[in-house]
Structure 1
């Protein structure tokens, strides 16, 4: 209960509900991201409905490097995994949302696993090693922080083949407003990265649990990944279709190659 005695949102699969409505209605629907300092901003769903011809060329270029078997982490609607499944690759989708995983199966993804990104090694134990792991759809954000991210990527290292690639999408943090600058300063004061967030998604009267999320540039990603046995080997900056041509280049794809030791 909130301090004034009124009920707060129901805790549940707000992401899955938003995604399901967008797919059912065949149009974008809006949820809201609530940050731990109280900032609330809209979160649309148009990207889940876009066909591959509408994806940024940087995403298509990165996906062209994929080899199966593939693990799609935080798969959401399964659009990237289904694209690869249509190209005769075996794809496993991982997501915390049962509703999202149902949509993945409908899209053609062969296998789904419900679980959190921090449980990768446990959830994938005993399977054939993956050759490609996707963190697309800005899922670099799931790394959350330096220590959490390094642990997650160490788990990815443990479940992948010697020649494995991670194909990821990240977004640099946005400053320039008093709220964002103050949030970044608090992160830096406690030794974190400026783009570390604690947030939840709210859709209608449903909210997810609070979870960590990370906006970071390729240099910070390289630091996180290097400690976990991954080398950053390619970065492409891009804007999403429809963005103004003079908008800052915040989004990027990153390809990371597995390595052992310093060689």
Structure 2
């Protein structure tokens, strides 16, 4: 902690002071105080009338104000100190949130600690949300893979039985005249309804059309639009 003054670098006594370098400073400047002086009346002219017309108000007087640093004001300077021309110079540091401030060292430490806690909990909250979204995406992907696996297993389970009875069924199913409209497949309208969808239980398709529906990216029942887990072949007793 050192005391410093704002002096002209060309001054003979500049070596006894700490120079404050404002060039390139990205943080706060000096905490100056506004001082108001006397009012200077404004003479009425065409310009004042124009200001009144455009809505800027009617000027009466000019207020002389000045930004000054009060004498004896305590200011804390935080930055990089180095020797330059046999004198000490302090400049701002991009890594520090303060340069020149009227806060004390303890107040600065408390404010930076509060900021650190705030950003820590914001990071924890965003991380939790990100993990939740990632887990949800993984769960949905797993469910989709699981549905495809069950569809393939169901297809393999009934594929052999379908091949054995396919010739006999084709002979009877291809004759729509022997069946009522309520017994025809709702997709091809040629074969008898033989496949039931699980879990909705609708018996509305033939085996071939049911397989095609089951192998879709998002298998849905053509009647109720419910998700299909797999299909079951129904045999007449």
The two structures have a TM-score, normalised by structure 1, of 0.17
The two structures have a TM-score, normalised by structure 2, of 0.18
Name the one with the larger strand percent. Answer: 1
Higher relative contact order (CA 8 A, sep 6+): 1
Name the one with the larger helix percent. Answer: 2
